[in-house]
Amino acid sequence: MTAMASSRQRSDRLQLVLATNNPDKVSEIAAILSGAYIDLLARPEELGDVAETGSSLEENARIKARAVLDSLGAPSTGGGGGSAGVADDTGLEVAALGGAPGVLSSRYAGPGASYADNVSKLLAVMRGVRDRRARFRTVALVAFADGREVVAEGSVNGVISEEERGKGGFGYDPVFIPDDGGGLSFAEMEPAAKNALSHRGRAFRTLAELLSVSGVQTGGSR
């Protein structure tokens, strides 16, 4: 996460409380935002599991970001303008599957599915399928306690490989080959190279730009 070297520096930086406690996502988001004037704070310990009941990536990101605010005692419908929660939701959209698994990507193989479970199911469903086009899409959202929101989206086109390739990354990275990745899967790339191309990298860089353009320097209202 970004450093907080002094209280003065801290007061000048935008502080965003993460909705995720997935260590892979936390590490990736921190790396993507390392050059931004943002401090990422850990998900509140008291925040339990948040049901992702939305029908879209944006709805699920909003549900999670608002849950952070509620856990901090800053109602997400107004007041307490000094708090901000940040969340994202990501979907893998496979053309031959009509856009599935999409919003259900993290639980494609069922509730509590592991990365390996989801990848195995996808490869099984895609066995023998010639059209292997796919898109990764991320929606990142910051929700402020005064009701404001900043939303950004990032996507990357590619294809689904016929077998797992590479040991890096997480999720569907071993079977997703981005169009501009030189034929490598995300799992075969160095983290910096992946982040430069990835859906999450594009979404969070755009989010940081939107926050900067809007003049937001802290979680409070301006």
Segment 85-111 mean pLDDT: 97
Percent of the chain whose pLDDT exceeds 90: 80
173 is catalytic: no
pTM (2 d.p.): 0.89
pLDDT on residue 214:
76
d(CA 104, CA 170): 16
pLDDT value at position 82? Answer: 58
Residue tagged 């070297």 (tokens): 5
Render 111-172 in DSSP notation, one character per residue: TT--HHHHHHHHHHHTTT-S--EEEEEEEEEEEETTS-EEEEEEEEEEEE-SS---SSS-TT
User: Range of 204's domain?
Assistant: 7-213
Domain assignment present for 173: yes
Q: Which of 21-35, 61-75, 84-98, 141-155 bottoms out in mean pLDDT, i.e. has the lowest?
A: 61-75
Q: Is the dihedral of CA 106, 108, 112, 114 positive or negative?
A: negative
Q: 222 falls in which pLDDT band (50, 70, 90)?
A: very low
* pLDDT score for 11: 52
Assess if residue 127 is contained within a domain.
Answer: yes
Question: Phi, psi at residue 132, to the nearest 5°?
Answer: -110, 20
In a domain, 220, yes or no: no
Q: Is residue 57 predicted with pLDDT exceeding 90?
A: yes
Supply the CATH number for residue 95's domain: 3.90.950.10
Catalytic residue among 89, 131, 146, 180, which? Answer: 89
Q: Quick check: is 221 in a domain?
A: no
Whether the Cβ atoms of residue 61 and residue 90 lie closer than 8 Å to each other: no
Alpha-carbon span 122 to 142, nearest angstrom: 31
156 belongs to a structural domain: yes
Percent of the chain clearing pLDDT 70 (strictly above)? 86
* Arithmetic mean of pLDDT over the chain: 89
Residue 77 domain-assigned (yes or no): yes
Residue 82 domain flag: yes
Question: Does residue 69 sit within a domain?
Answer: yes
Query: In the structure, what pLDDT confidence band is assigned to residue 76 with cuts at 50, 70 and 90?
Result: low
Q: How many domains in the chain?
A: 1
pLDDT, one tens digit per residue, over 148-192 is: 999 999 999 999 999 999 999 999 999 999 999 999 999 999 999
- Contact by Cβ (8 Å): 145, 89: no
